[in-house]
């Protein structure tokens, strides 16, 4: 014993922040997991082949700093230049870097009060002032509400957890009203049927559009995200990345990502399957008396006035079906349900019917 008293003063210098709370990840073989918006189908066979052909010896070396080959692949696929593409370790990293890079005004960043709950977390983490703009009573984003002085605008399109998407007119009106701020459109779920703002990056040099391999390309476990913007915006993101962590994407992920983009036929086929199951399940739930938003994502946002969402969530969990419940004002009686396979959704519908029948509602 040294006799030195530890007064714990160092604890005063720790960051205290309420973190983002992800959906539950459980290791249960019989679990039907419909709570984190993962794709129910496997990645492209081309990804499997790319991983099998990968030379493990390449892991000795750092990956290419600019992810150049994947950038060029994405640029060719989307009809832009490689200088207009940024690649990162999942779209969460891409968005976090974008927040730090683009939102340095004393004015507040604006985003909806009901949206991806990482947005306010990043703002608090980086010390960015923000203001949450209420959605309409029908959960729509109203562009005119963002035509006020601000330090930036962030919109998820489709929005989460509602699944509602906005079209080109909405996006352009938002951009026209915010020429002096960076506007970020988060298109994590866009491939399932929403309008993509990527073509507008040539018209609006303050636009950044983020996308991901996690949902539509079934690669959530690989961690690959990317965004599109003017060469000036992308260069600023590159500088921010290299000031924090130059080597963000592994060599293996880069090879798998290129293979996934190249297999467009498989990509389109899996998207169509998810959309068919989504729409069929929505119709079935409406037939059971649920209100279901017109989702353009790979999940459904549902409620039923006479049914407690919290109690239904608990019942489904008890029967090894995980969905997402948000204990937040305005949406506390809604569930967000990821679209699984047809078999997954049939099982879900069966348990929901069982629950409502038992309670006579």
Q: What is the pLDDT of residues 78-88, one digit of tens each?
A: 999 999 999 99
Q: What is the pTM of this model?
A: 0.94
Give the per-residue pLDDT at 13: 86
10 pLDDT band, cuts 50/70/90, is confident
Instruction: Say whether 126 sits in a helix, a strand or coil.
Output: helix
Please say if the pLDDT value at position 361 is more than 70. no
| Interval 212-254: pLDDT, tens | 999 999 999 999 999 999 999 999 999 999 999 999 999 999 9
Q: What are phi and psi of 292, to 5 degrees?
A: -130, 125
| Interval 142-169: pLDDT, tens | 999 999 999 999 999 999 999 999 999 9
Token pair, residue 121, equals: 């977390």
Domain with CATH 3.90.1150.10 in the chain: 13-42+265-358
Please say if the pLDDT value at position 358 is more than 80. no
Report the CATH fold assignment for 13-42+265-358.
3.90.1150
- pLDDT, the chain, mean: 95
* Domain 45-263 CATH class label: alpha beta
Give the per-residue pLDDT at 19: 84
End-to-end CA distance of the chain: 67
Give the helix/strand (H/E) hosting 93: helix 90-102
Dihedral, CA atoms, 300, 305, 306, 310, nearest 10 degrees? 50
Please say if the pLDDT value at position 3 is more than 80. no
Please say if the pLDDT value at position 2 is more than 60. no
Give the per-residue pLDDT at 35: 96
Domain with CATH 3.40.640.10 in the chain: 45-263
Give the per-residue pLDDT at 357: 85
208 pLDDT band, cuts 50/70/90, is very high
Dihedral, CA atoms, 45, 47, 52, 54, nearest 10 degrees? 160
Dihedral over Cα of 70, 74, 76, 82: its sign: negative
Give the per-residue pLDDT at 335: 98
Least confident of 24-28, 70-74, 296-300: 24-28
Give the per-residue pLDDT at 20: 79
Token pair, residue 133, equals: 């703009």
In the chain, % of residues over pLDDT 70: 98
Give the per-residue pLDDT at 24: 77
Token pair, residue 52, equals: 């099998």
Token pair, residue 63, equals: 């990956």
| Interval 188-201: pLDDT, tens | 999 999 999 999 99
| Interval 265-293: pLDDT, tens | 999 999 999 999 999 999 999 999 999 99
Please say if the pLDDT value at position 1 is more than 60. no
Give the per-residue pLDDT at 7: 72
- 11-24: average pLDDT: 83
| Interval 109-152: pLDDT, tens | 999 999 999 999 999 999 999 999 999 999 999 999 999 999 99
Q: What share of the chain is helix, strand, coil (3-state, %, to 5)?
A: 40, 15, 45
């Amino acid at each position: 014993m040294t006799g030195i008293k530890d007064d714990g003063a160092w604890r005063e210098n720790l960051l205290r922040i309420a973190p983002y709370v992800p959906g539950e990840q459980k290791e249960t073989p019989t679990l039907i997991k419909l709570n984190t918006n993962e794709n129910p189908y496997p990645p492209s066979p081309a990804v499997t082949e790319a991983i099998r052909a990968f030379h493990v010896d390449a892991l000795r070396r750092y990956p290419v700093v600019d992810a150049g080959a994947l950038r060029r692949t994405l640029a060719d696929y989307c009809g832009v230049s490689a200088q207009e593409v940024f690649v990162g370790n999942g779209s969460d990293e891409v968005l976090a870097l974008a927040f730090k890079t683009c939102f340095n005004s004393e004015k507040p960043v604006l985003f909806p009060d009901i949206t991806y709950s990482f947005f306010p977390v990043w703002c608090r983490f980086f010390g960015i002032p923000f203001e949450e703009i209420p959605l309409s009573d029908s959960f729509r984003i109203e562009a005119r509400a963002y035509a006020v002085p601000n330090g930036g605008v962030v919109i998820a399109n489709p929005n989460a957890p509602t699944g509602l998407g906005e079209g080109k007119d909405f996006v352009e009106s938002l951009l026209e009203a915010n020429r002096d701020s960076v506007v970020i459109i988060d298109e994590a779920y866009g491939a399932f049927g929403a309008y993509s703002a990527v073509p507008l990056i040539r018209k609006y040099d303050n636009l950044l559009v983020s996308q991901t391999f996690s949902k539509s390309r079934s690669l959530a476990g690989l961690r690959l995200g990317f965004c599109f913007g003017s060469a000036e915006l992308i260069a600023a993101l590159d500088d921010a990345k290299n000031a924090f962590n130059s080597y963000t994407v592994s060599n293996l992920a880069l090879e798998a990502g290129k293979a996934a983009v190249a297999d467009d036929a498989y990509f389109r086929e899996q998207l169509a399957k998810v959309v068919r199951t989504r729409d069929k399940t929505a119709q079935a739930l409406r037939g059971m008396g649920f209100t279901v938003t017109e989702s353009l994502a790979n999940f459904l946002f549902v409620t039923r006035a006479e049914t407690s969402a919290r109690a239904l969530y608990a019942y489904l969990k008890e029967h090894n079906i995980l969905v997402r419940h948000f204990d937040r004002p305005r949406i506390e009686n809604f569930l967000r349900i990821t679209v699984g396979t047809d078999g997954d959704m049939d099982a879900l519908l069966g348990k929901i019917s069982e629950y409502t029948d038992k309670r006579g509602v």
